[in-house]
Amino acid sequence: QAVVTQEPSLTVSPGGTVTLTCGSSTGAVTSGHYPYWFQQKPGQAPRTLIYDTSNKHSWTPARFSGSLLGGKGALTLSGAQPEDEAEYYCLLSYSGARPVFGGGTKLTVL
């Protein structure tokens, strides 16, 4: 099974910009992996922020955006707010195989 890698932790200042990445042990992440990004706060269910690399749901704050960057999936937060402090997970789909979650990135807004 493929391994999906994320930064264990990142810190961003309020109002600042940060990029979280999502790598694959099989090689470059492409649009064909249909990258997802989920946000999870303590004691809550995950919330889907981004699907298929860069698509947002109606509830996704405009300050979040998804892309491909340097062979990885990327989630960029521009103008971080205190309420963005959370764990963020990516999910990649593999042709002929089952989707795999990354280990998560704990984002601190400080």
Partner 1 sequence: QVQLVQSGAEVKKPGASVKVSCKASGYTFTRYYMHWVRQAPGQGLEWMGIIKSSGDSTSYAQKFQGRVTMTRDTSTNTVYMELSSLRSEDTAVYYCARGNPVDIWGQGTMVTVSS
Give CA–CA dist 10/17, Å, rounded: 11
Report in angstroms how near the CB of residue 15 gets to partner 1 at its nearest. Answer: 28
Q: Smallest distance, Å, CB 97 to partner 1?
A: 9
Distance between CA atoms of 55 and 65, rounded to whole angstroms?
Answer: 8
19 or 51, CB closer to partner 1? Answer: 51
Q: CB nearer to partner 1: give 2 or 69.
A: 2
DSSP string, 2-42: --EEE-SEEEE-TT-EEEEEEEETTB---GGG--EEEEE-T
User: Judged by CB, which is closer to partner 1: 45, or 62?
Assistant: 45
Residues that bind partner 1 (CB under 8 A): 1, 34, 36, 38, 40, 45-48, 51-52, 55, 57, 89, 91, 98-104
